[in-house]
Chain A
Amino acid sequence: MKKYFKYLIFLFAIGLVSGFFIYNKPHQNIEKAKVDQSLTASKLFTEFEVDENAANQIYLDKIVEITGVVREVSADENGMTSLTLNTDNEMFGVICQLDNLTKHKRTDFKKGEEITLKGICTGVLMDVVLVRCVES
């Protein structure tokens, strides 16, 4: 009886520890993450514009590396920086929200510079949105 008890406690401890680790599973490390798709901002936007459902199938939740010219830089009250990249459409672009869990080499981006970022594609509203972006 006593013998079983020892094993039982041991198993319980393992369960507790692994449960703790699963619960505290860290967010994906974007800097080290493998790029699933790599393309220009214009091309990504056009694909969403032409067929949203098809583009969702390809890009949603994927790590997308995107190259484009910065149209607008904005920072919100929490210090989170967002970049809008140019597309063929004059009004709408690709919005890249920089990752707040990563230490960025720089956040002083300028209008008109060409840049390559990678982030997680979350879909399209009027602009295509990428979150947790880092410069690559």
Chain B
Amino acid sequence: MKLIKFFVLLVAIVFAQTSYGQKYFTRSGKISFSSDAALEQIEAVNQKATSVLDSQTGKMEFAILIKAFQFEKALMQEHFNENYMESDKYPKAIFKGAITDLSKVDFGNDGKYQVDVKGDLCIHGITNSVVTAGIITVSKGNISAAADFEVAVADYKIEIPNIVKDNIAKIVEIQVAIDYELFNKKS
């Protein structure tokens, strides 16, 4: 029993130390995607992405609500939610990962830093591992993150019927643009 208590304490101390690093946070990140198919161009924007970045460990997390994507055409939005993403069943998309070459980034100095990000992306209830290049920009203590990457629709078991196969791209481009704020704990 004592041993367990000791172990719990140890774990708590380790966690307390690792979570001591500066954390950056936003609730209004922008994540958009575009599908560039032969017959139709589709773009949608989500301005309410939540994201956390830990500058000590390089860990980052993103979460978005699928229904918060705004399309130009209402019909596209309806089809996106009902037919393809099934957003009643899977309301969120989540990315959990980390900057793999964090040593390149100097959070104390202004500049643009090229980084690699690796993690798990969960869309439509399916989780896949994703590796992408991204840019961390530090400017007067403000931190922003940007990345462009591609996602194959089939990897996430999103079925596109044959009739619209020329309207929807098989590879969808995703753009991420996040401005972080320092996360200060109000207790």
Contact = CB atoms under 8 A, between A and B. Distances in A.
B70 interface: yes
B65 A129 contact: yes
A122 B75 contact: no
A123 B88 CA distance: 10
Contacts of B67: 60-61, 120, 122-123, 131
A131 B71 CA distance: 13
B68 interface: yes
Interface in B27-73: 27-28, 30, 47-48, 50, 63-68, 70, 73
Interface in B1-39: 27-28, 30
Interface residues of B, number: 22
Interface in B85-112: 88, 91-92
Contact of A131 (B27, B70, B74, B88): B70
Contacts of A125: 27, 48, 50, 63-65, 92
Contact of A129 (B48, B73, B186): B48
Contacts of B30: 76
Interface of A: 22-28, 56, 60-61, 74, 76, 78, 80, 82, 90-91, 95, 97, 100, 120, 122-127, 129, 131-132
The 10 closest A-B pairs by CB, nearest first: A122-B67, A122-B65, A122-B68, A125-B50, A27-B74, A123-B91, A123-B65, A125-B63, A25-B75, A25-B74
